[in-house]
Amino acid sequence: MSTAEISAKNVGMVYRDRKGQEITALQDVSFDIEKGEFISLLGPSGCGKTTLLRIIADLLAPTSGEISIGGETPAQARKKLKYGMVFQSPVLYDWRTVRENVRLPLQIMHLSRAEQESRISEMLELVGLTSFANHYPKQLSGGMQQRVGIARALAIQPDILLMDEPFSALDEFTKEKLHNDLLHIWRKTNKTIVFVTHSIAEAVYLSDRVFVLSPHPGRLTAIEPITLTRPRTDSMRNSEQFFELVGRIRNDFEGGSI
Amino acid sequence: MAGRKKTLNTVCWIIGFFVLWEAVADIMLYLLHDPNAEKKLTAPSLILQQFVADAPHLLTEAGITFSRAAIGFAIGAAFAFLLAVLMSLSRLIETTLLPYLLLSQMIPILGLAPIIFSLVKDLDTARIVIAAYMSFFPISINLLSGFKAVRTDQQTLMYSYACSKWQLYRFLILPSALPYLFAGMKIAAPLAVTASILVDTLSVQDGIGQIIVYSLAGGGALGAFWPAVVLGALLGVISYNIVTLAEFILVPWDRGEAGKEKSA
């Protein structure tokens, strides 16, 4: 048994469309992700990156192969609340204030009131929303809503943070600020992060390694280590090395069958 | 500012409406010398006058009608809630029950009310039963749509927390369906009042409907007719506004103000 935090062996996902035709969403995907790594699943739409994330999260069952989460099945890991999920839309509960949104998973976990309060304060502090604790989601900007989503995901103290294109609906400036916020949070909390994106630059800026996926059928075509030093800073976005990495990954796609 | 302008607008329209009504009634009575002018179009000033003169009696009867409507509404809403939850829990229950619920609304209430009355043999019980009967359907159907309108991503999130069925209802499905519940109750509340008035007219004992029937039949007591009709309409408006107020208090996240877009 490997020591990897997340390990995939020959994972495949085949489903039938309405006409009964078989569609291969994922084919023979294998990888190991170490504890504390920041991994991006990168590819165009139809490459199966979101499917792969959902399989890891136990929201979908693969039709072949298996995933191991530190020796457990994804279902076991989910039931032990090892995953924090962040979606493309913030998925906040409109009827709950920011504070109560972060409280929700803690209520489900039956934590004591005192424990809930201390975790909520800590998380809101971490994402810089302490002064907005009593606002309703509709009163917040898109970037702030997404930060609530991140706070809520981290509140359950998961081992793994699964993020499905969390910043893709945000404007460029908000997005770049949240990149730095996320890296800051990652450094402080030492989570393993799996981050789905279709932006090469985003994947390069954030990740330790970029998993490059290609469509039709969805498969893992390359794993690119990102050699930029940590901590990442905004100036790196304009560095020679950054452009070189972006260019190399773009080549991975052009060499493939896109 | 826009809100105040709108209020002013509404007030002007209402005043204008009554002035016109009064003017036409007066023209018919004093200029055209129509002998039936007061029956054809009673002047609002006269209605008000009669209302004030008869106020204690009118309000007592209105209270009887309204309180029975309210009890019936509450029972109907509770029943509607139970039905909606059951139907949302099981597709089988939904497909079995729904045709009967629809059918129940096809029976003309004018025919059903006397049957219920002769069955229960008590005016108050009949009023409550009919009010409940009229209320439950719109509430149940709206609430069921609310349960079904729960966003899939919100459900997925709950699934990722490994929550129980009870927690799913308590934390997600019930609160997210609250605006639908209130939409249904806004339709049902005036219906319950109408139902209660309808039952009043069956047994001429008490209630606002009794005054209406009595004044129509008696001819001479026409003076009580218009105030009673206006009061009956008012009861419907009041019931609607009580539900709206309850929604304002219980659904604070859905208020107009909170929905305003804020810039990033």
Determine whether the interchain pair A95/B153 forms a contact, defined as Cβ–Cβ distance below 8 Å. Answer: no
Find the closest chain A residue to B175 by CA distance: A95
Query: Which residues of B have a CB under 8 Å from any CB of A?
Result: 151, 153-154, 156-163, 167, 171-172, 175-176, 178, 251-254, 258-260, 262-264
Chain B contact for A142, CB < 8 A? Answer: yes
Is the Cβ pair B163, A91 closer than 8 Å? no
* Average pLDDT value for chain B: 88
Question: B160 and A78: CB-CB below 8 Å?
Answer: yes
User: Do residue A170 and residue B264 have CB atoms under 8 angstroms apart?
Assistant: yes
Percent of chain A with pLDDT over 90: 79
Separation between Cα atoms, residue A221 and residue A211, nearest integer Å: 8
pTM of the model: 0.82
Walk me through the domains of chain A, giving residue ranges and CATH numbers. 6-82+159-255 (3.40.50.300), 92-157 (no CATH)
> Alpha helix (H) ranges present in B121-173?
123-148, 152-160, 165-168
Report yes or no: A94 at the B interface, CB cutoff 8 Å: yes
| A151-164 confidence digits (pLDDT tens) | 999 999 999 999 99
Q: How far is A171 from chain B (nearest CA, A)?
A: 9
Enumerate the residues of chain A whose CB falls inside 8 A of the CB of residue B172. 93
Report the residue from A81, A93, A138 with minimal CB separation from B154.
A93
Query: A139 vs B161: CB contact, 8 Å cut-off?
Result: no
Phi, psi of A23 (to 5 degrees): -120, 130
The CATH architecture that domain B43-254 belongs to is: Orthogonal Bundle (1.10)
Cβ contact A148:A120 at 8 Å: no
> Mind listing the pLDDT tens digit for each residue in B120-179?
888 889 999 999 999 999 999 999 999 999 999 999 999 999 999 999 999 999 999 999
Is residue A220 very low, low, confident or very high in pLDDT (cuts 50, 70, 90)?
very high
Mean pLDDT of B244-255: 88
Spell out which residues of chain B touch residue A140, defining contact as CB-CB under 8 Å: 262
B171/A108 CB distance under 8 A: yes
When CB atoms are compared, the residue of A59, A142, A174 closest to B156 is A59
Nearest CA in chain B to A174: B264
- In tens, the pLDDT along B54-89 reads 889 899 999 999 999 999 999 999 999 999 999 999
* Domain regions of chain B by residue span: 43-254
Residue range A76-84: average pLDDT?
Answer: 94
pLDDT at A18: 84
Residues 6+ apart with CB under 8 A from A228: A204, A205, A236, A239, A241, A242, A245
> Which residues of chain B have a CB within 8 Å of the CB of A81?
161-162
Cβ contact (<8 Å) for B251 and A95? yes
Helix, strand, or coil (residue A225): strand
Split at pLDDT 50, 70, 90, the class of B221 is low
Which tens digits make up the pLDDT trace of A43-60? 998 899 999 999 999 999
- Would you say residue A17 has pLDDT above 90? no
Minimal Cα distance from B255: which residue of A? A138
So what's the pLDDT on residue B183? 95
CA distance A177 to chain B (A): 12
Tell me if A85 and B160 make a contact (CB, 8 A cut-off). yes
Q: What is the ipTM of this complex?
A: 0.87
What confidence tier does B45 reach under pLDDT thresholds 50, 70, 90? confident
Indicate whether B260 pLDDT > 60.
no
Residues of B in contact with A166 (CB under 8 A): none
The pLDDT-based confidence of B226 (bands split at 50, 70, 90) is confident
Query: What kind and span of H or E run contains A12?
Result: strand A6-16
Query: What token pair was written down for B165?
Result: 């069925």
Helix (H) or strand (E) holding B101, with range, is helix B91-104
Distance from CA of B160 to the nearest CA of A (A): 6
- SS3 string, A21-52, reads CEEEEEEEEEEEECCCCEEEEECCCCCCHHHH
CB atoms within 10 A of CB B20: 10
Mean pLDDT for the stretch of residues A196-215: 95
pLDDT in tens, A169-197: 888 988 998 999 999 999 988 899 999 99
Least trusted range by pLDDT, from A149-163, A188-202, A208-222, B221-235 = B221-235
